[in-house]
């Protein structure tokens, strides 16, 4: 019986590591490193083990912000790439599992405590039905989770890179503006930190304003403080588009287990969520408006859902 393991959540900016008690799913020795401080995942993991005196732990699960389709893993928004089998051999690990970051977040959903999620809008959730999760941060992650009699099946995907659909005059302008810069306009081009910065420039252009670029953090702060009308409009557009995408995910897999919004951005903008168009756009699906109205939506406020999901996934693998 394996008592402890190491779990990690690797994003485009930060690498989070923790020890986990697989019996209780309790996390400790939680450390966050800037990815830029290390040349590779191997060095970051080895440094974590040595500084936390956890070299004796031989079971590791890593969630990472990119597709995981084979032995070679290449990050989407950072330069790390590695061979899963090579790291396992180099570090002499008994188990080394790598999964997409939002596969891990999806696996965390059934383990979330009531105080680690906030329900907003109408709808109810059935824990025995499919669930969806999406989250904006450095990029835009998307995943689904299917409950079964023998555990959970996570469905990884790259829904953040599908086609973004404009629905009104401002959005048609944004579509053309972003297409001129990027060619393909995916939801991630709007629903991420860089996406918020692009929205700021696009909406300014739509209004005929000349502005200097502004960071996503500053745009969010101005919107929260109601100190800049353009910034407020950017966050309004962000939530409208996020709600539309969340509603699409709900329809795709009939997610009566709920749709969960995770990631680093939305929890910081909670005061602006209730007054936004998120839920209106979530439900506005023509003949299927009533269908989506029955589905609950939540914001995940847990500090480390990726680490928790890694732990749940590893525990399920070891028990099978």
Q: What CA–CA distances, in Å, run from 79 to 42, 65, 76, 137, 296? A: 13, 11, 8, 17, 37
| Contact call for residues 16 and 32 (beta carbons, < 8 A) | yes
* Angle, in degrees to the nearest 10, between helices 216-225 and 229-253: 100
| Contact call for residues 127 and 147 (beta carbons, < 8 A) | yes
Predicted confidence (pLDDT) per residue in 288-298, tens digit:
999 999 999 99
User: Domains of the chain (ranges plus CATH)?
Assistant: 4-101+304-319 (3.30.420.40), 113-301 (3.40.367.20)
Confidence check: pLDDT of 157 > 90: no
- For residue 49, the model assigns a pLDDT of 97
Predicted confidence (pLDDT) per residue in 197-248, tens digit:
999 999 999 999 999 999 999 999 999 999 999 999 999 999 999 999 999 9
Compute how many other C-beta atoms are within 10 angstroms of the C-beta atom of residue 236: 18
- For residue 282, the model assigns a pLDDT of 98
Cα angle vertex 116, ends 115, 121, to 5°? 85
- For residue 76, the model assigns a pLDDT of 82
Q: What CA–CA distances, in Å, run from 86 to 2, 8, 41, 72? A: 23, 17, 12, 10
Three-class DSSP labels, 22-85? CCCCEEEEEEEEEHHHCCCHHHHHHHHHHHCCCCCCCEEEEEECCCCCCCEEECCCCCCEEEHH
| Contact call for residues 138 and 193 (beta carbons, < 8 A) | yes
Question: Could you tell me the pLDDT band of residue 156, with boundaries at 50, 70 and 90?
Answer: confident
Tokens of 122: 């109408």
Confidence check: pLDDT of 1 > 80: no
Confidence check: pLDDT of 97 > 90: yes
Predicted confidence (pLDDT) per residue in 52-65, tens digit:
999 999 999 999 98
- For residue 86, the model assigns a pLDDT of 96
Predicted confidence (pLDDT) per residue in 103-147, tens digit:
999 999 999 999 999 999 999 999 999 999 999 988 898 999 999
Q: Which residues contact 202 (CB under 8 A, 6 or more apart)?
A: 173, 174, 177, 178
Full-model pTM: 0.90
Measure the CA–CA gap between 53 and 108, rounded to whole angstroms: 26
- For residue 305, the model assigns a pLDDT of 93
Measure the CA–CA gap between 194 and 160, rounded to whole angstroms: 13
């Amino acid at each position: 019986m394996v008592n402890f393991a190491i779990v990690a959540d690797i994003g485009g900016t930060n690498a989070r590591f923790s020890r986990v008690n697989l019996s209780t799913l309790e996390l400790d020795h939680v450390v966050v490193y800037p990815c830029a401080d290390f040349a590779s995942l191997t060095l970051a993991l080895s440094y974590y083990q040595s500084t936390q005196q956890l070299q004796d732990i031989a079971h590791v699960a890593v969630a990472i912000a990119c597709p995981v389709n084979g032995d070679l893993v290449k990050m989407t928004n950072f330069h790390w790439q590695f061979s899963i089998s090579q790291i396992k051999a180099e570090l002499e690990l008994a188990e080394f599992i790598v999964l997409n970051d939002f596969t891990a977040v999806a696996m965390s959903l059934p383990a979330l405590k009531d105080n680690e999620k906030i329900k907003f809008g109408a709808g109810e959730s059935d824990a025995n039905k499919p669930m969806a999760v999406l989250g904006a941060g450095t990029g835009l992650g998307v995943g689904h989770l299917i409950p079964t009699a023998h555990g959970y099946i996570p469905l990884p995907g790259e829904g953040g890179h599908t086609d973004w659909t404009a629905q009104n005059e401002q959005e048609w302008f944004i579509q053309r503006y972003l297409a001129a810069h990027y060619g393909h306009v995916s939801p991630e081009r709007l629903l991420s930190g860089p996406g918020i910065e692009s929205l700021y420039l696009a909406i300014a252009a739509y209004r005929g304003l000349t502005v200097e670029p502004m960071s996503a953090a500053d745009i969010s702060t101005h919107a929260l403080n109601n100190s800049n009308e353009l910034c407020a409009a950017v966050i309004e557009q962000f939530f409208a588009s996020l709600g539309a995408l969340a509603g699409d995910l709900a329809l795709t897999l009939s997610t009566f287990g709920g749709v969960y919004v995770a990631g680093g951005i939305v929890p910081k903008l909670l005061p602006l969520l209730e007054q936004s168009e998120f839920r209106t756009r979530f439900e506005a699906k023509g003949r299927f408006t009533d269908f989506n109205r029955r589905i609950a939506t939540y914001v995940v406020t847990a500090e480390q859902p990726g680490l928790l999901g890694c732990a749940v996934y590893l525990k399920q693998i070891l028990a099978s």
